[in-house]
Amino acid sequence: ETGVTQTPRHLVMGMTNKKSLKCEQHLGHNAMYWYKQSAKKPLELMFVYNFKEQTENNSVPSRFSPECPNSSHLFLHLHTLQPEDSALYLCASSQYRALNQPQHFGDGTRLSIL
Amino acid sequence: DAKTTQPPSMDCAEGRAANLPCNHSTISGNEYVYWYRQIHSQGPQYIIHGLKNNETNEMASLIITEDRKSSTLILPHATLRDTAVYYCIVRFMTTDSWGKLQFGAGTQVVVTP
């Protein structure tokens, strides 16, 4: 139990569907992150939120739309995805800009695009 | 930004100590060394981090050389559940960077009975 919960754990969707991934942290952190992990590739940072404000977007396609209503919840809205978007999507949280405080990760959502 | 170099894989016998090396020869004085591991189909799990001094917690020990150019993660008594990919990461802060984690390929550790 890391204190970061992601739902659903598995998701299969067609390219025309719209779905959302949810992340919740119970650690009192003020920053939340979305990462993508494709097969045989290192984790790639997608988005960073600090106190609900997006502070980083690593050139992520617009078919991925993040939302952070408060510092405990983070969503990733998905629409018109492509087969290459199939991956493990990981959420993490931490204290923002605190080098000596670790990020804690959830167990991810395994996404498959048909 | 400092990069790290780790062996791609290593084996360890159950019950023995596992010593995982990491080279970070370009590390700067204010950059932390972090270790994470990822067990198959799970998210990365934080293990330990350090700046200059050696560190120990309930999971592992981190030994950082005096010049800080390399470090070793020690799992004192490896179990089969320690089979995972282990990532050594140097975490830095600049005006444009907020201390992000940059994951490399890591070391695949296999603990055998």
Q: For chain B, positions 24-83, list CB contacts with chain A under 8 A.
A: 30-32, 34, 41-46, 49, 51
How far apart are the C-alpha atoms of B73 and B8, rounded to whole Å? 15
Number of Cβ within 10 Å of residue B1's Cβ equals 13
In this prediction, residue B2 carries a pLDDT of 60
A43 → closest Cβ in B32, B46, B103: B103
Check if the beta carbon of residue B45 is closer than 8 Å to that of residue B108. Answer: no
Model confidence band, residue A53 (pLDDT cutoffs 50, 70, 90): confident
Minimal C-alpha gap between A52 and chain B (Å): 16
**Which pLDDT value is given to residue A100?**
87
User: Tens digit of pLDDT for each residue in B35-44?
Assistant: 999 998 899 9
Confidence at residue B50, expressed as pLDDT on a 0 to 100 scale: 95
The rounded distance, in Å, linking the Cα atoms of A39 and A111 is 12
**What is the average pLDDT across A85-93?**
96
* Contact criterion met (CB < 8 Å) for A2 and B100: no
Write the pLDDT tens digit of every residue in B78-93. 999 999 999 999 988 7
The arithmetic mean of pLDDT across residues A97-113, rounded, is 92
